[in-house]
Amino acid sequence: MLKAYVDLISQPSRALYIFLKFTQIPHTIQHVALRKGEHNKAEFLKINPFHTVPAIDDGGFLLSESVPILQYLCNKHNIHSLYPKDLQQRAKIEAFTHWQHLNLRYGGSILFVALFSQPASGKMPIDEKSVQLGVKVLKASLERIEQIYLKETPFLSSDSLSIADLLGVCEVLQVHVGLGMDVLTHYPKVAKWVELVRESVGASIFDDAHSFILKAGEKVRKMEVSVPKL
Amino acid sequence: MLKAYVDLISQPSRALYIFLKFTQIPHTIQHVALRKGEHNKAEFLKINPFHTVPAIDDGGFLLSESVPILQYLCNKHNIHSLYPKDLQQRAKIEAFTHWQHLNLRYGGSILFVALFSQPASGKMPIDEKSVQLGVKVLKASLERIEQIYLKETPFLSSDSLSIADLLGVCEVLQVHVGLGMDVLTHYPKVAKWVELVRESVGASIFDDAHSFILKAGEKVRKMEVSVPKL
C-alpha cells in the first residue's frame, strides 16, 4: 500500500495529506518530525535522499517533490477532475505549480523561518532584512493571484478545483494560520478562494490537516514575536 | 504557427530554444530583450502578464513557465523520448524540474544577479552576502546532482535525454559560461553530463543557444568583477 511521508508543519505535506483524504486513495501516513531531525536519519534517507517531505513509497517506487507526487497519483488513479487530461487545462495547472516556488512559496517560507523556526529554536534577534524580503515577495505573489490567477475564475486555473489550488492554499495558510499574519483582508478574491477550496475538499479534512500548524501559530503568539502587516 | 518569446540571456529561454531547434517543431522566435525592459511593455503583457520569458503563443493559447511549456509541446507533438508516457519515468523527470527552482536555479540566479546584472547596470559595490548565499546554495545543488541524480545514470533521470536535462544544463551554464565561474572541475559527473547533453542535441544548436551568454561572460571579465571559486 502507498506510504506517504509527511510533516503537517510543511505546506506541501498538508496538500498531499488533504489530497489523500479527499480522493480516498488507500494509503498509510508516516509522520516525519522535522523538528526532531527525523528527515536526516538514515532510515528516511533510504526513502528520500533529498531529506525533504513529502515523499512517497508506492510499492517500492520512491518519489519526492509534492507536485510530481500529486500528478503521479492523479495519473495512476485516473483522478482527472483534479488534474485534467486536456493538454491546455493541464498546462495551466502546471504553470501555477512551477510559478509558486520562487514566488508564493519563497515569500511565505522566508517569513515562516524568520518568524517561527528560528525564534522557536532560540535564534534571536529576528533577521529584519529577511522579514522585509519575505513581505515584499509575499505581497507581490498575493497580488498576482488576486489580479491574474483569480481574475476570471473562482479557482486558480479554471472553474473547478485542481491540485494547484490544494498546493496554493496550503502555502497561503502557512503564514495566515501558522504565523497569525493576516494575508486575506486585503485580497478578497484570495480569501474567497481559500474558503472555496476548504468547502470543496470538506471542512473536516481541511481543518484536520491544519490543526498542527494552528497550534504552531499559538506558540508564535506566546513568544510575542512581532508579525508584520501586509 | 507557434510563437516562442525568449531572451537568450535567460536559462529557461535557452532550454526552450534548444528544444525547438532539436525537435524541429515549426515555430518562430520572438526576442524579448529583458535589458531593454521589453518584458514590461503592454504588448508583451498581453502575451504574459507575469512579465517573464519564456512564454508561448500557440495559435492563441498563451502559456508561461518553461517546464509546462516543454511538457505541453512534448504532449502535443508526441515527443515521448524527451518526456515519456510511462508514469514513473515521467514523475522522475518532473521531480527534478520542481526541485531545481529553490536549489540549482535559485543559487545560480543569486550569483548571476549579484555578479552580472547589478554591476552591469552600475550598481556597486557587489553584495557579498548575496554572493556567499549563492555559492552555498549552488554548491549544495551541484553536490546533489553529482551524488544523487547522476549516481547511476548518465542523464538526470534515466539513460536517455529528457527535458529535465535541457533545463538543468542551461542553469549550470548560466554561471559557468555567463560568469566564467568554473563549476565543472570539482564535479566530474556534472561535467560529463553537460557534454553529453551538448552532443545529444547537437553541438551547433547548443553552442548557438549559448553564444549570447558567452558574450555576456566576456563583459563580466572586462568589468573585472571578482568571481568566487566553488
Residues in chain B with CB shorter than 8 Å from the CB of A61 are: 88
Residues in chain A with CB shorter than 8 Å from the CB of B144 are: 50
Q: Mark out chain A residues that contact chain B at CB-CB < 8 A.
A: 49-50, 61, 63-69, 71-72, 75-76, 87-88, 90-92, 94-95, 97-99, 101-102, 105-106, 144, 148
Residue B230 maps to a domain: no
* The predicted structure's pLDDT at residue A147: 97
Residue B121 maps to a domain: yes
CATH number at residue A141: 1.20.1050.10
Round to whole Å and give the CA distance between A27 and A24. 8
Average pLDDT in the A70-75 region?
Answer: 98
Query: Do A67 and A97 contact (CB within 8 A), yes or no?
Result: yes
Round to whole Å and give the CA distance between A87 and A1. 30
* The predicted structure's pLDDT at residue A60: 98
* Mean of per-residue pLDDT scores for chain B: 96
Residues B107 and B206 occupy one common structural domain = yes
In this complex, do B98 and A50 lie within 8 Å of one another by their Cβ atoms?
no
Residue B100 maps to a domain: yes
Residues in chain B with CB shorter than 8 Å from the CB of A75 are: 87, 90
**Of B76, B111, B137, which residue is a domain's last?**
B76
SS3 B100: helix
In this complex, do A76 and B68 lie within 8 Å of one another by their Cβ atoms?
no
Residue of higher predicted confidence among B219 and A171? A171
Residues A43 and A117 occupy one common structural domain = no
Report the percent of chain B where pLDDT is more than 90.
90
Lowest-pLDDT range of A118-127, B11-20, B174-183:
A118-127
* pLDDT over threshold 90, residue A39: yes
pLDDT grade for B220, boundaries at 50, 70 and 90: confident
**Of B76, B100, B125, which residue is a domain's last?**
B76
Residues A165 and A217 occupy one common structural domain = yes
Residues in chain B with CB shorter than 8 Å from the CB of A49 are: 148
Letter string b/e over residues B11-44, b meaning 16 or more CB atoms within 10 A of that residue's CB: bbbbbbbbbbbbbebebebbebebeeebbeeeeb
Residues A59 and A159 occupy one common structural domain = no
Domain that holds residue A20: 2-76
Q: Which of B95, B101, B144 sits opposite A63 (nearest CB)?
A: B95
Residue A81 maps to a domain: no
* The predicted structure's pLDDT at residue B68: 98
Residues B133 and B39 occupy one common structural domain = no
Tell whether ipTM is more than 0.90.
yes
* pLDDT over threshold 90, residue B225: no
Residues A127 and A216 occupy one common structural domain = yes
Residue B9 maps to a domain: yes
Residue B229 maps to a domain: no
For B17-35, how does the pLDDT look when each residue is reduced to its tens digit (9 = 90+)? 999 999 999 999 999 999 9
Residues in chain A with CB shorter than 8 Å from the CB of B50 are: 99, 144, 148
For B65-112, how does the pLDDT look when each residue is reduced to its tens digit (9 = 90+)? 999 999 999 999 999 999 999 999 999 999 999 999 999 999 999 999
* The predicted structure's pLDDT at residue B150: 98
Number of domain units in chain B: 2
* pLDDT over threshold 90, residue B177: yes
In this complex, do B72 and A49 lie within 8 Å of one another by their Cβ atoms?
no
* The predicted structure's pLDDT at residue A230: 85
* pLDDT over threshold 90, residue B224: no
CA-based nearest residue in chain B for residue A106: B102
* The predicted structure's pLDDT at residue A216: 84
In this complex, do A72 and B88 lie within 8 Å of one another by their Cβ atoms?
yes
Residues A128 and A198 occupy one common structural domain = yes
Average pLDDT in the A56-73 region?
Answer: 98
Residues A71 and A95 occupy one common structural domain = no
* pLDDT over threshold 90, residue B230: no
* Mean of per-residue pLDDT scores for chain A: 96
Q: Which of A71, A101, A102 sits opposite B91 (nearest CB)?
A: A71
For A80-98, how does the pLDDT look when each residue is reduced to its tens digit (9 = 90+)? 999 999 999 999 999 999 9
From B178's Cα to the closest Cα of chain A, the distance in A is 21
Residues in chain A with CB shorter than 8 Å from the CB of B87 are: 72, 75-76
* The predicted structure's pLDDT at residue B124: 82
Residues A135 and A43 occupy one common structural domain = no
Report the percent of chain B where pLDDT is more than 70.
100
From B148's Cα to the closest Cα of chain A, the distance in A is 8
* Backbone φ/ψ region at B37: left (φ over 0), alpha (ψ -120 to 50), beta: left
In this complex, do B98 and A95 lie within 8 Å of one another by their Cβ atoms?
no
Residues A91 and A110 occupy one common structural domain = yes
CATH number at residue B61: 3.40.30.10
φ, ψ at A57 (rounded to 5°): -125, 105
Q: Mark out chain B residues that contact chain A at CB-CB < 8 A.
A: 49-50, 61, 63-69, 71-72, 75-76, 87-88, 90-92, 94-95, 97-99, 101-102, 105-106, 144, 148
Give whole-number Cα distances, B16 to A86, B26, B38, in Å: 22, 13, 19
Q: Which of B50, B61, B94 sits opposite A68 (nearest CB)?
A: B94
pLDDT grade for B221, boundaries at 50, 70 and 90: confident
* The predicted structure's pLDDT at residue B194: 98
Residues A113 and A65 occupy one common structural domain = no
Q: Which of B68, B95, B102 sits opposite A94 (nearest CB)?
A: B68
Instruction: Give the position of cell 568589468.
Output: B223
Residues in chain B with CB shorter than 8 Å from the CB of A63 are: 88, 91-92, 95
Residue A125 maps to a domain: yes
Residue A64 maps to a domain: yes
From B92's Cα to the closest Cα of chain A, the distance in A is 7
Q: Which of B68, B99, B101 sits opposite A95 (nearest CB)?
A: B68
**Of B38, B53, B76, which residue is a domain's last?**
B76
Residues A132 and A207 occupy one common structural domain = yes
In this complex, do A94 and B67 lie within 8 Å of one another by their Cβ atoms?
yes
Lowest-pLDDT range of A38-52, A100-114, A209-223, B94-108:
A209-223
* pLDDT over threshold 90, residue A220: no
Instruction: Give the position of cell 522522475.
Output: B92
Average pLDDT in the A213-221 region?
Answer: 87
